[in-house]
């Protein structure tokens, strides 16, 4: 292979002859002049060789970088020939020119697309010396093309799944009824996650039963039957669909959301006691119950320093309700630490007794919620399955959204989540052929 053939191979172009190479070392630019091979030009209608050359059409095309030279352009002379059987003239096909974006080659679009799997369209535009809007359109075209090829990997273990929602955007409530109705409402995306692979398998717009059903229907009937454990928060629409679509699955209520509910109950007690302390001019209690100290009040004893423990012991001595609420938080944590269902039930019964004796309204309401979801909590105790992987992916998705300064197109957001956090990328979908030809 000579040097000219090597350059042609590097750039992903075929059936051309390079006539000139202009290198601008200071600006790291390369301009190549190429011409289609006469013997490789055929009529697009009948497939026969052209009888004669009518003209050479000049085109300027972006091609992939060459080493340290990021801004590489090919000046292509494309043949327009006369075809006697067809009785007219046609432009010879160059299948390596992108069919949608005529100013670039397929190889350039694929290189840019693979970069945009990891970084923003604007960043890729700066690297490859093009404009960000064109890169965005290339990215959308490529993701749409890859969706048609998308199939979950073979032998994917879906015995353990999790589902959680992530915030998409907040929009104005156009169906607002009354002056006290919410002016703005949040919109969400539901993600179906595999905790074992930490990947998003499917997603859908919304956070209702329709959204989770749309996600689950991306799995085959055999895969749905093979699901054994399914971690969710205490969202009843999700649970209803999971019971129907995954009949063999044990639904596990996530520990993170359980602790969140307990902390909310404690915070209601704290706020109530804070108001009383302010009315009674009790400076010590008021200072200890200010909002920014609530995390110390709800922390477990093993996570506190000696100074913090002494301050909390003094607060316990002066405020019975806070002392009882702190005990209830700690006892509930200990119940969730149990390794088997029998010991958990025993610890939970003791917790119920303390709740009833305390007569703290927030914890009495919480106890009703715990009773309602006790079976799902016991499934968590047995399996230890949580939505930790889904929450971690949510953080990654939020970072993705911040990098893009927010998304307004829900379809684009869904695809980008699957690309960045799932299997909709070149690591799992074979796209090597897209360097040379786009075949939708």
d(CA 249, CA 270): 39
Q: What is the pLDDT of residue 210?
A: 95
Answer yes or no: do 143 and 214 share one domain: no
Write the DSSP symbol of residue 422: B
Answer yes or no: do 204 and 293 share one domain: no
Note down the domain range covering 86.
Answer: 3-147
If you compute the radius of gyration of the chain from its CA atoms, what whole number of angstroms results? 31
Write the DSSP symbol of residue 153: P
**The last residue of a domain, from among 147, 177, 200:** 147
Residues 6+ apart with CB under 8 A from 3: none
Answer yes or no: do 217 and 207 share one domain: yes
Decide: 417 and 200 in contact? Cβ < 8 Å: yes
Answer yes or no: do 140 and 262 share one domain: no
Decide: 328 and 354 in contact? Cβ < 8 Å: yes
Q: In whole angstroms, what separates CA 260 from the centre of its chain? A: 23
Query: Is residue 415 predicted with pLDDT exceeding 80?
Result: yes
pLDDT band at 130 (very low <50, low <70, confident <90, very high): very high
d(CA 193, CA 163): 6
Residue 397 belongs to a domain: no
Question: Angle CA(327)–CA(332)–CA(335) in degrees, nearest 5?
Answer: 125
Residue 9 belongs to a domain: yes
For 231-266, write each residue's pLDDT tens digit: 998 889 999 999 999 999 999 998 888 989 999 999
Decide: 192 and 389 in contact? Cβ < 8 Å: no
Answer yes or no: do 362 and 415 share one domain: no
d(CA 136, CA 124): 10
402 C-beta neighbours (distance < 10 Å), count: 9
Query: Is residue 330 predicted with pLDDT exceeding 70?
Result: yes
Answer yes or no: do 7 and 120 share one domain: yes
Number of domains observed in the structure of the chain: 3
What Cα–Cα distance (Å) separates residue 126 from each residue in 58, 134, 234, 403, 412?
Answer: 26, 12, 45, 15, 21
Candidate from 14-28, 171-185, 269-283, 352-366 with smallest mean pLDDT: 171-185
Answer yes or no: do 349 and 297 share one domain: yes
DSSP letters along 53-87, please? EEEEEEEEEEE--BTTB-EEEEEEEEEEEEETTTT
Residues for the chain: how many in total? Answer: 440
Answer yes or no: do 133 and 9 share one domain: yes
Q: How does 322-339 read in b/e, with b if 16+ C-beta sit within 10 Å?
A: bbbbbebbbbbbebbeee
Coil, strand or helix at 229: strand
Answer yes or no: do 249 and 276 share one domain: no
Query: Is residue 1 predicted with pLDDT exceeding 60?
Result: no
d(CA 288, CA 321): 14
Q: What is the pLDDT of residue 379?
A: 93
Q: Looking at residues 307-320, what average pLDDT do you find?
A: 78
Residues 6+ apart with CB under 8 A from 96: 12, 13, 14, 105, 106, 107, 436, 437
Answer yes or no: do 328 and 413 share one domain: no
For 374-409, write each residue's pLDDT tens digit: 999 999 999 888 888 888 999 999 999 998 888 888
- pTM of the shown model: 0.85
Question: Angle CA(86)–CA(91)–CA(92) in degrees, nearest 5?
Answer: 95
**The last residue of a domain, from among 147, 169, 186:** 147
Q: Looking at residues 98-118, what average pLDDT do you find?
A: 94
Query: Is residue 216 predicted with pLDDT exceeding 90?
Result: yes
d(CA 434, CA 440): 10
Coil, strand or helix at 18: strand
Run of H or E residues at 8:
helix 3-11
Q: Looking at residues 17-22, what average pLDDT do you find?
A: 91
Query: Is residue 440 predicted with pLDDT exceeding 70?
Result: no
**Nearest partner of 332 among 313, 311, 353, judged by Cα:** 353
- Tell me the helix, strand and coil percentages in the chain, rounded to 5: 50, 20, 30
d(CA 79, CA 336): 74
Percentage of residues in the chain with pLDDT exceeding 70? 98
Strand order in the sheet with 184-194: 199-205, 184-194, 160-172, 229-232, 250-253
Q: In whole angstroms, what separates CA 396 from the centre of its chain? A: 7
Answer yes or no: do 350 and 374 share one domain: yes
């Amino acid at each position: 292979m000579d040097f000219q053939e090597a350059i042609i191979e590097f750039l992903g172009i075929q059936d051309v002859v390079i006539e000139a190479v202009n290198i601008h070392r200071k600006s790291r630019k390369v301009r190549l002049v190429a011409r289609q091979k006469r013997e490789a030009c055929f009529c697009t209608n009948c497939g026969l060789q052209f009888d004669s050359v009518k003209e050479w059409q000049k085109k300027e095309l972006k091609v992939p970088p060459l080493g340290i030279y990021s801004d590489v352009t090919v000046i292509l002379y494309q043949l327009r020939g006369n075809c006697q059987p067809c009785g007219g003239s046609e432009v010879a096909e160059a299948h390596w020119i992108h069919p949608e974006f005529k100013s670039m080659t397929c190889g350039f679009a694929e290189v840019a697309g693979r970069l945009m799997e990891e970084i923003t369209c604007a960043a890729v535009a700066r690297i490859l010396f093009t404009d960000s809007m064109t890169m965005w359109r290339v990215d959308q075209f490529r993701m749409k093309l890859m969706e048609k090829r998308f199939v979950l990997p073979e032998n994917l273990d879906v015995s353990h799944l999790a589902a959680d929602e992530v915030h998409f955007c907040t929009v104005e409530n156009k169906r607002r009824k009354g002056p006290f109705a919410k002016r703005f409402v949040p919109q969400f995306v539901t993600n179906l996650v595999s905790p074992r692979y930490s990947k998003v398998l499917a997603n859908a717009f919304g956070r209702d039963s329709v959204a989770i059903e749309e996600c689950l229907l991306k799995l085959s009937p055999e895969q749905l039957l093979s699901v054994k454990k399914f971690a969710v928060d205490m969202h009843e629409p999700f649970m209803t669909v999971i019971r129907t679509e995954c009949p063999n699955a044990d639904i596990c209520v996530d520990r993170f959301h359980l602790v969140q509910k307990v902390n909310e109950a404690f915070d209601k007690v704290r706020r109530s006691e804070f108001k009383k302390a302010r009315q009674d001019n009790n400076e010590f209690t008021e200072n200890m119950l200010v909002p920014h100290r609530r995390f110390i009040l709800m922390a477990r004893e093993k996570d506190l320093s000696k100074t913090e423990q002494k301050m909390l012991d003094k607060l316990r001595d002066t405020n019975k309700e806070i002392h009882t609420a702190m005990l209830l938080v700690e006892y509930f944590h200990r119940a969730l630490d149990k390794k088997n269902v029998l010991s958990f039930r025993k610890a939970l019964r003791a917790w119920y007794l303390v709740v009833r004796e305390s007569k703290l309204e927030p914890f009495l309401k919480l106890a009703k919620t715990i009773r309602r979801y006790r079976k799902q909590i016991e499934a968590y105790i047995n399996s230890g399955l949580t939505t930790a992987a889904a929450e971690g992916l949510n953080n990654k998705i939020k970072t993705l959204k911040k990098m893009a300064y927010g998304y307004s197109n829900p379809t684009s957001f869904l695809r980008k989540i699957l690309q960045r956090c799932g299997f909709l990328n070149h690591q799992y979908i074979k796209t090597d052929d897209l360097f040379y030809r786009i075949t939708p």
